[in-house]
Amino acid sequence: MARPLGEATREAYGKALAELGRENPNIVVLDGDLSKSTMTKYFAQEFPDRFFNVGIAEANMVGIAAGLASAGKIAFASSFACFVMCKAFDQMRLAVAYSGNNVKIVGTHGGISIGEDGVSQMGHEDIGLALSLPGFVVMVPADAAETRAAVRAAAEHVGPVYIRVGRPKAPIVYENGCPDFQIGRAITVREGRDVTLIANGLMVAAALDAAEALEQEGISARVLDMHTVRPLDEATIEKAARETGAIVVAEEHLLYTGLASQVAMAVARLHPVPMRFVGLYDYAESGAPDALMRKYGLTADDIAREARELVNMRQKAAV
Amino acid sequence: MVTTDVSVEQLERTARKLRRHIVKMLAIAGSGHPGGSLSAIDILTALFLGGIMRYDPKNPRWEERDRFILSKGHAVPALYAVLAEAGFIPEEWLWQLRKIDTPMQGHPSVKDLPAVEASTGSLGQGLSIGLGMALAARLDGRQYRVYVMIGDGESEEGQVWEAAMAASHFRVGNLTAILDYNRYQLDGAIGEIMSIEPIVAKWEAFGWAVREIDGHNMQEILDALHWAKEPREQPSIIIAHTVKGKGVSFMENNNEFHGKAPTQAELEQALAELAD
């Protein structure tokens, strides 16, 4: 049932950036001494004049990116998700969000699936922080193909963008590329009637696996790839709430602030239905990525369990 | 647009007028920061009105313009005063400082006023933004210069030194910082709260060309700004020794006026002291 692994989304990001660099001389890239990990190295190798390694100084990096953007550049700035969002949050607030500068922040090593390096390197809260910045588009692509599409869309969008990508190889969700990708438009990756699984990032593949398992039990689960957390595709969420009557949201992120909270607000306002949430309530720890995902409840089994309970609850109520 | 042939005496007279504007707009607003505005105004007058910066008030986003960032954003009354004098905004707007539904935000906001280059007020950020602009000029083959005014208290922020290190590493000769060294921060004297000395040695050690001046001596300010424009492959900083509250006797070196507007009676006394 496990899907074949493709490139890591950070790898896809790095290659997409180099591709964009060839097409658009206005693109500049900044990194904070992690270009070999964020994969901005591909751009750096091809376009050394347009690449600025600022050293280990994330606040300065985002400030410089804002200055470059205000002078007309499309500035991509990268570091690990936790470092760029946490250390440069004030700069993103004032010099990027409030100023409306055309800066694209790409945080790599998002989530706990980075594994052995442990909590200090993991992005547990990067999406919540990005969502706290008015005007920021926030995206979490599911696999390499979708990452390429998201990076391209980010370059075309005028205004601040945050994209979270991950460290490990990502299961392939889009075998034939992601040609219909649009910011703010969820992709229905599987149709279903009884329950809707809404996910992004690595959790999309997990949700698809969960849907296959549920099918064996006679439960038809719809799966939405909510790659854009803001602007949120409320129409597709409302439709799913009306048509399936139950929603599970899964994300590799603290549940206090992220996709789950955003979807819950939309569902509460537009068409309230029972909901369950799969995500983090605390910091993780060091360990093998798969083992961490199991221990912290971020697997297909966890999603399937929550969906099954929602469907069972409804059946009991109907009796 | 280059303003030329302005005499030192004319600039001094203009600075005095802009000091009157500063205390008046703060008195009307009922809040704000007189001390650091009055310490900075001679330098801003020289920059904008002394033929140093190239700009076009009719086209504030002209791509070839020189840029000025007020990183110590709380001194925005000084910035608004020179922007009005330079023709970017009408003088009447000054009396709307800090009022709702106006572009005259309590700290500089690039979204509200196109003549403002960067939103500031969270201290430490301006030099990084200025460095980004200076790098963009190099990439685009443009000749503009970027000036960033930082505060002495602000120099306690780590980001200032991240930017200082990077500007020197990237060899940006078109970036000039100006330190308004008025020796006070909100809680008291710089030396007592957190000393930034030896400040000249620090900037030299970071690889910058450094020049110290009296920040209220118009001729010295002009000379230093011309010095900053000389071609070089390193950034430059003018360390301007200034007096907080300069020009109003009861505000000078009186840190009560770091962030307190004058009353009506205090305004009248200040205007009398600043009369031509």
Q: What pLDDT score does B247 carry?
A: 98
Q: What are the distances in angstroms from CA A152 to CA A47, A138, A156, B190, B251?
A: 18, 14, 6, 48, 55
The Cα B181–Cα B200 span in angstroms is 11
- The answer to whether A69 contacts B119, with C-beta atoms less than 8 Å apart, is no
pLDDT, residue A178, reads 94
Quick: pLDDT tens for B192-222: 999 999 999 999 999 999 999 999 999 999 9
What ipTM does the predicted assembly reach?
0.96
Rounded distance between C-alpha atoms, residue B42 and residue B224, angstroms: 13
Backbone angles phi and psi of B213, in degrees to 5: -140, 170
- CB within 8 Å of chain B, chain A residues 91-120: 91, 93-95, 98-100
pLDDT digits (tens, 9 = 90+) for B83-97: 999 999 999 999 999
Task: Provide the residue type at B125 as one letter.
Answer: Q
Contacts of B118 in chain A (CB under 8 A): 66-67, 70, 95, 99
User: In which band, very low, low, confident or very high, does the pLDDT at B1 lie, cut at 50, 70 and 90?
Assistant: very low
Give me the residue label for tokens 């939405």. Answer: A224
Catalogue all structural domains in chain A, each as residue range(s) with its CATH number. Answer: 7-171 (3.40.50.970), 187-318 (3.40.50.920)
Q: Which of B121, B124, B131 sits opposite A64 (nearest CB)?
A: B131
Q: What's the first-to-final CA gap in chain B, in angstroms? A: 28
Decide if B171 is inside a domain.
Answer: yes
pLDDT, averaged across chain B = 97
Which positions in chain B touch A70 (Cβ < 8 Å)?
110, 117-118, 129, 132-133
Tokens of A36: 């070999």
Interchain contact, A94 vs B122, CB within 8 Å: yes
Q: What is the pLDDT of residue B4?
A: 56
Task: Decide if B55 is inside a domain.
Answer: yes
Res A2: pLDDT: 74
Contact between chains at A95 and B118 (C-beta distance less than 8 A):
yes
Per CB-CB distance under 8 Å, the chain A contacts of B110 are: 70, 99-100
Q: Quick one: tokens of A300? A: 């297909």
What pLDDT score was predicted for residue A319?
80
Q: What is the spatial distance between Cα B109 and Cα B73, in angstroms, rounded to a whole number?
A: 9
The Cα B133–Cα B127 span in angstroms is 10
| pLDDT for res A246 | 98
B2 assigned to some structural domain: no
- Give domain status of residue B76, yes or no: yes
Cα atoms in the 13 Å half-sphere on the side-chain side of A69: 31
Instruction: Give the number of C-alpha atoms closer than 13 A to the C-alpha of residue A97, restricted to the C-beta side.
Output: 19
Strands of chain B, DSSP E: 67-70, 146-151, 175-181, 184-185, 188-189, 209-214, 236-241
Give the DSSP letter of residue A93. Answer: I
Both tokens assigned to B274: 């600043």
Q: What is the mean pLDDT of residues B64-87?
A: 98
Could you tell me where the DSSP H helices lie in B6-50? 8-29, 34-49
- Spell out which chain B residues touch chain A, with contact meaning CB-CB distance below 8 angstroms: 63, 109-111, 117-122, 124-125, 127-137, 139-140, 158-159, 162-163, 165-166, 169-170
Residue identified by tokens 């020189």 is B66
The catalytic residue among A7, A58, A146, A306 is A58
DSSP assigned state of B95: G
What stretches in chain A show pLDDT beneath 50? none
Is B163 within the bounds of a domain?
yes
Q: How far apart are the first and last CA of chain A?
A: 34
| Cα dihedral A282/A285/A291/A295 (nearest 10) | -30
Domain enclosing residue B202, as ranges: 8-273
Residues of B in contact with A54 (CB under 8 A): 162, 166
The Cα of A201 is separated from the nearest Cα of chain B by a number of Å equal to 32
Read off the pLDDT of each residue in B68-93 and give the average, rounded to a whole number. 98
CATH of the domain at B79: 3.40.50.970
Count up the domains in chain B and report the number: 1
Specify the DSSP class assigned to residue A4.
Answer: P
Band of pLDDT at residue B3, cut at 50, 70 and 90: very low
**Is B266 domain-assigned?**
yes
| Catalytic annotation present for A58 | yes
In a domain, B1, yes or no: no
- Bridge partners of A79? A107
Give the distance from residue A91's alpha carbon to the nearest chain B alpha carbon, in angstroms.
Answer: 7
Cβ-defined contact of B162 to A60 (cutoff 8 Å): yes
Contact, B262 vs B203, CB < 8 A?
no
| Residue pair B177/B237 in contact by the 8 Å Cβ criterion | yes
Find, in chain A, the residue whose alpha carbon is nearest to that of B133.
Answer: A67
Give the H or E element holding residue A97: none
Question: What residues have CB less than 8 Å from A105, skipping those under 6 apart?
Answer: A62, A76, A77, A78, A84, A85, A92, A96, A130, A160, A161, A162, A163
Residue B2 is predicted with a pLDDT of 42
User: Is B133 within 8 Å of A70 when comparing Cβ atoms?
Assistant: yes
